[in-house]
Amino acid sequence: MKVFNWKESINEKELNIVASKIKDGELIVFPTETVYGIGTNALEGEACNKIFKAKGRPSDNPLIVHVCSLKMLKKCVNNISQIEEKLINAFMPGPFTLILEKAEKIPLSVTAGLKTVAIRMPNNEIAKKIIEKAGVPIAAPSANESGKPSGTNIEDIKDELGEKVFALIDGGRTEIGLESTVVKVVNGIPKILRPGKITAEDIEKVIGKVNIDEHVLEKVEIEEKVESPGMKHRHYAPKTKCILLDIDDENQKIKEINKLVNQNICFIGFTETGLKLSLLENKLNYLTKTDFYSYGDTLEEISQNIFSLLRKVDKMNYELIVIEGVKPEGLGLAIMNRLLRTCEFNVIRQSENIEK
Ligand code: TXA
Ligand code: MG
């Protein structure tokens, strides 16, 4: 397994090798500002099939095509509407993916048979340089086994995908840590299919009205028709059973935790507030019996840490991981979208009648 270390700077000699391997349809793991991607030449259908195989990805879940310029973007799609153009100008390059009508040259294996294609222009020096040098768009989903948390650093990805790719490029820990916001314009109004760093409020400021897909915080039933195939599949889930604690009331929180603590459990939550504080204040001494792992203090920190932390805790043989929820506002919507899936919609919610 080759690991190229470009944390400090891009190695030009290795860049030439990587670019030509991509063009030839080999798989490369590379960083973006959101999460790492596992990618290859988006114009080669056969090569793109290898991505599905390496990840164990369901064949009906389409890939994102990464471009480095507006010129390259326009070669991949047809008929950009005015509103789509506005979105492109406002949010690309960045943690933003737009679903557009696909051009003939994008193979159906990339789009899983759909007539639309997901396009993203990453704002990460390494990703930009690789696409530029290769001279072709790169089809790449997140670098992780299908169903697992997305890879945000090379150490987490190596064991899972290392043997299946030509090389892994180490660009350090990714800046954002959650995948891009996926948007499709439906009947002239942008609709968020997957929330991310670019929030509904950000889009509203540029465009006006924006819709959020109803499945963002809801489970999709098997027979349901959805706008984005990825919504249907198991996602972001460790092997260990996880449960989401979506409760504000301190008393109820403690009561619910009381029901769980006989098991070998751990907690993931804010550093000094919320769950940890209520555990300490109530002097239940759970922190000696169980373990507490902080995912940070701000939504930005949580977004950066959560996938890597889940992978770490998953290796520790707990019976249950209890995760503290956040308010589903701003970046919090993206975090809750991922946590609900991490917990496979196993949630303890605030009860209507709070006993005091
Ligand atoms: O930040 C990101 O978006 C990362 C980095 C590597 O760019 N990529 C990523 O890819 O998260 P992936 O494959 O894990 O997620 C792509 C999502 C899936 O939910 C997929 O269903 C959706 O985008 N998607 C792709 N093409 C689509 C299409 N034509 N219509 C609707 N949804 C689509
Ligand atoms: Mg993914």
| CA 311–ligand 2 middle distance (angstroms) | 15
Residues 6+ apart with CB under 8 A from 278: 250, 253, 254
pLDDT of residue 63: 98
Cα-to-chain-centroid distance, residue 199? 14
pLDDT of residue 251: 80
Q: Which of 33, 60, 64 to mutate to test the pocket of ligand 1 (most atoms within 8 A of CB)?
A: 64
The tokens describing 288, both together, are: 């000696």
| CA 103–ligand 2 middle distance (angstroms) | 23
Looking only at the bridges linking them, the beta strands covering 320-324 and 265-270 are parallel
Q: What b-and-e string marks burial along 6-35, b requiring 16 or more CB atoms within 10 Å of the CB?
A: beeebeeeebebbbebbbebbbbbbbbbbb
| CA 290–ligand 1 middle distance (angstroms) | 36
pLDDT of residue 258: 79
Per-residue DSSP letters for 207-246?
A: HS--EE-GGGGSPPPTT---SSGGGGS--S--SSEEEEEE
- Please, where are the H alpha helices in 150-292? 154-161, 200-207, 250-260, 274-281, 286-289
Determine if ligand 1 sits within 6 Å of the CB of residue 25.
no
Q: Which amino acid is at 321?
A: I
DSSP 278: H
95-113 pLDDT per residue, tens = 999 999 999 999 999 999 9
Q: Which amino acid is at 316?
A: M
Residue 105: count of CB within 10 angstroms of its CB = 10
* Per-block mean pLDDT, blocks of 10 residues, the chain (356 long): 96 98 98 98 98 96 98 98 98 98 98 98 98 98 97 96 98 98 98 98 96 94 86 90 90 81 84 69 60 92 98 94 94 98 94 57
This prediction has a pTM of 0.95
pLDDT of residue 356: 43
pLDDT of residue 106: 98
